[in-house]
């Protein structure tokens, strides 16, 4: 059967009596979580430990050996194939693997694949494995969560720890960390413990929540846009004090302005930020481009092009100039502020 992240509870609510459970996504956390849940339920039902044969290309002989061993107790062997990459097999090897999945009678396979993007997920061998898993058992595509999904995840994770989440704190945490569920889960664990397992507040998130460098740099861009230049420089100093590399900060800065530029171009052509998200092949939610459009509303395309030229020069200088990289980054930010001030 075909399944999604939303229908997995239905799958796990029944006895796992199929021979194959295949979870695939562009997000490693999602498939790892689903596989752990499946293996836990199977281990409890079968009284067996899982045999793990890690990818990307486990040897067929090892798979046969792991699956073909007859249990003394008449239970099925659990064979875990994490991070398997179907595209790394040749056609004959993949056909042999699929034959093993179908013909083995005393084993259950829990397989996961993580793909770089949706194009890789639609490759011939990837589709073939997903279709065969669907025919034999369960094939579940676990899509990257939307912001609403991520907020529900935060609430559910906190609830499992006996902890409440103050209204707005989930969105604050999402804005700080992005939609990486692995990072969000760790943050909820940390903040729940900090609260004494009572209530995670917005003040806790603001004061102690981890932030991605992209989120901090985007805030810096927002400060520049709003003319709060002293605060923008303080934010840059904070990033440097936290030992973020100037090259990484520059890359995040360029990414923020490229997002704004693309959305502005899209608006000029009569296209929404959602269309820009699709046409430029962004992965995951379009939330990032929505915020970029809001931030870029105060600046013209001509000024954006000047700023992108500054960032291109910064990139070249960081790679080739013997000058101090921190000084180069600070000088570039000063030039961007000057350019913004001309609007």
The structural domains of the chain, ordered by start, are: 2-141 (3.40.50.300), 147-208 (1.10.8.60), 213-340 (1.20.272.10)
Q: What is the pLDDT of residue 22?
A: 96
Three-class SS state of 22: strand
Rounded CA separation 131/1 (Å): 9
33-41: long-range pairs with CB below 8 Å, 24+: 33/181, 34/5, 34/8, 34/112, 34/140, 34/142, 35/80, 35/82, 35/110, 35/112, 37/8, 37/12, 38/12, 38/110, 39/78, 39/80, 39/110, 41/12, 41/16
Q: What is the pLDDT of residue 73?
A: 54
Q: What is the pLDDT of residue 127?
A: 95
Three-class SS state of 139: strand
Rounded CA separation 212/186 (Å): 13
Rounded CA separation 269/264 (Å): 9
Q: What is the pLDDT of residue 186?
A: 82
* Burial label, 332 (beta-carbon count in 10 A; 0-12, 13-18, 19+): buried
Q: Which of the 8 DSSP states describes residue 1?
A: -
Q: What is the pLDDT of residue 26?
A: 86
Q: What is the pLDDT of residue 6?
A: 67
From first to last of its 343 residues, the chain has per-residue pLDDT tens of 676 766 788 888 888 999 999 999 988 888 988 999 999 999 998 888 899 998 789 999 999 988 876 555 567 889 999 999 999 999 999 999 999 999 888 899 999 999 988 888 899 999 999 999 999 999 999 887 778 888 988 999 999 999 999 999 998 888 777 777 777 888 899 899 989 999 999 888 877 666 667 777 888 888 888 888 898 998 898 888 877 889 999 999 999 999 999 999 998 889 888 888 888 887 666 777 888 888 888 788 888 999 999 999 999 999 888 889 999 999 999 999 988 766 5
Q: What is the pLDDT of residue 211?
A: 63
Task: Map tokens 């770089």 to a residue.
Answer: 116
Rounded CA separation 184/1 (Å): 30
Rounded CA separation 100/94 (Å): 10
pTM: 0.56
In sequence order, the β-bridge partners of residue 315 are: none
- Helix-helix angle 91-103:124-136, to 10 degrees: 10
Q: What is the pLDDT of residue 36?
A: 92
- The pairing of beta strand 164-165 with beta strand 199-200: parallel
Task: Map tokens 């990139």 to a residue.
Answer: 315
- Helices (H) and strands (E) counted in the chain, each on its own, are 17, 8
Contact 180, 62 (CB under 8 A): no
Contact 60, 100 (CB under 8 A): yes
């Amino acid at each position: 059967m075909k399944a999604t992240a939303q229908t997995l509870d239905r799958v796990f609510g029944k006895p796992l009596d199929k021979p194959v459970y295949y979870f695939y996504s562009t997000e490693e956390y999602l498939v790892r979580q689903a596989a752990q849940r499946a293996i836990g339920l199977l281990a409890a039902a079968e009284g067996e430990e899982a045999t793990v044969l890690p990818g990307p290309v486990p040897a067929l002989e090892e798979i046969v050996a792991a699956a073909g061993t007859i249990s003394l107790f008449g239970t099925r062997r659990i064979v875990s194939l994490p991070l398997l990459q179907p595209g790394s097999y040749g056609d004959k090897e993949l056909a042999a693997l699929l034959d093993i999945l179908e013909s083995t009678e005393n084993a259950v396979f829990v397989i996961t694949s993580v793909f770089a993007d949706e194009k890789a997920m639609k490759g011939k061998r990837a589709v073939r494995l997903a279709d065969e898993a669907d025919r034999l058992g369960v094939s579940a595509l676990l899509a990257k969560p939307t912001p609403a999904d991520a907020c529900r995840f935060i609430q559910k994770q906190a609830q499992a720890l006996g902890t409440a989440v103050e209204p707005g704190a989930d969105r604050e945490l999402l804005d700080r960390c992005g939609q990486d569920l692995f990072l969000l889960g760790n943050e909820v664990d940390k903040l729940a413990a900090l609260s004494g397992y009572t209530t995670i507040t917005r003040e806790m998130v603001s004061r102690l929540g981890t932030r991605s460098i992209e989120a901090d740099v985007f805030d810096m861009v927002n400060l520049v846009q709003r003319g709060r230049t002293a605060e923008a420089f303080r934010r840059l100093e904070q990033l440097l004090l936290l030992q973020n590399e100037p090259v990484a900060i520059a890359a995040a800065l360029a990414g923020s302005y490229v997002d704004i530029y693309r959305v502005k171009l899209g608006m000029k052509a009569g296209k929404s930020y959602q269309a820009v998200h699709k046409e430029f092949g962004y992965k995951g939610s379009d939330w990032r481009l929505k915020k970029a459009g809001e931030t870029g509303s105060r600046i013209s395309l001509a000024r954006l092009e000047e700023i992108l030229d500054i960032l291109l020069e910064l990139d070249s200088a960081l790679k080739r100039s013997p000058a101090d990289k921190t000084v180069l980054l600070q000088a570039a930010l000063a030039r961007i502020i000057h350019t913004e001030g001309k609007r």
